[in-house]
Amino acid sequence: MSEYILRAENLSVSYGDFRAVTNASLKVKEGSITALIGANGAGKSTLLSAIMGEHKPTEGHVFFEDREVTGLKPSVIVRNGIAMAPEGSCIFDEMTVRENLLMGCYQKRAAAKKNELFEKVYSLFPILKEKEKQLSSFLSGGQRQMLAIARAIMADPKMIICDELSLGLAPVVIGEIYEKLTEINKEGVTFLIVDQDVGRSLEYSDYSYVMVKGGMVMEGPSCDLPIEEVKDAYFGINKYA
């Protein structure tokens, strides 16, 4: 079996005539934290949507644990072991915190380990236990993001994809969330994170990809990537204009 848990090869995704992702490839090593960096509109979320089966790619392939999963329904992808904490948290506002977490373990495999998973997420995010009976619409931005990650953990996944991890959050909360993420990663869960916080993405990840205008322009071990050039790519200036 390959050392890469997820491989996206030459993916292209279009919305009608508009091509949002062009020939993008990405590999995520098992047990790692991989970051996907890019400005708004770079195509990061579209790429993730194609990996999760929300959009059918016009070209290219996605492999999870060496099995092709291109174009499969999200419900099948989740069953295979990928969970997603989507952009803007995407939580169920009309449900309580506990009900949201229960939705995380909707798949039968995870449902069988429900109690164990609840213990795990409550030890990681004690605030969620305190607020378990509250409607999730009353949570703060940081708590919603924690709930989204906790809900992904409840799926007992092999890999978690986090889209726009720090969007709209206070710096202190972002730091806390990244610490939790590292803690979960140490237990063997692979992460693919998308964030606009370039500094933190590079600091906490093992490997990074930089996306500009729908294509990959840079990749490498996060500690080796030249931060100034990554920022140029992120802001679309100098040679990336």
Partner 1 sequence: MELLIQSIVTGILLGGLYAIVGLGLSLVFGIMGLTNIAHGNLMIMCSFIVMVFGTVFNGNIILMLVLAIACMVVFGFLFQNFLVNKVIDKGPNPALLVTFGVSIVIQNALQLIFGADARSIKSAFATVNVVSSDYVSISGAYLANFVVAVVVIVLLSLFIKRTRMGRAIRASANNVRAAELMGVNTKLMYSVTMCIAMATACIAGLLVGNTFVFYPYSGPQYLIIAFGVVVIGGMGSIPGTLLGGIILGLAQLLGSYFFGTGYQIFSGYIVMLILLTVCPAGLLSNAKRK
Task: Summarize as ranges the residues that interact with partner 1 (CB under 8 A).
Answer: 52, 54, 73-75, 78-79, 83-84, 86, 90-95, 99, 102-104, 106-107, 111, 151, 155
Nearest to 64 by CA among 110, 4, 154, 109: 4
Phi-psi map region of 191: left, alpha, beta (phi>0 left; psi -120 to 50 alpha): beta
- C-alpha angle 184-189-194 in degrees, rounded to nearest 5: 85
* Residue number with CB closer to partner 1 (86 or 216): 86
| Cα-based distances in Å from 3 to 31, 121, 122, 165 | 10, 28, 31, 25
Nearer to partner 1, 23 or 80 (CB): 80
Q: 44 vs 200, which CB is nearer to partner 1?
A: 44
Nearer to partner 1, 92 or 122 (CB): 92
Residues whose CB falls within 8 Å of the CB of residue 234, separated by 6 or more in sequence, listed in order: 37, 38, 39, 196, 198, 210
Q: Which CB, 65 or 99, lies closer to partner 1?
A: 99
Q: Measured from the CB of residue 200, what is the shortest distance to partner 1 in angstroms? A: 24
Q: How far is the CB of 86 from partner 1 (least distance, A)?
A: 6
Instruction: Please say whether the beta carbons of 78 and 86 come within 8 A.
Output: no
Is the distance from CB of 4 to CB of 197 less than 8 angstroms? no
Beta carbon of residue 155, minimum distance to partner 1 (angstroms, whole number): 7
Q: What is the largest CA-CA distance in the chain?
A: 53
Shortest Å distance, C-beta 203 to partner 1: 27
Nearest approach, Cβ of 211 to partner 1 (angstroms)?
21
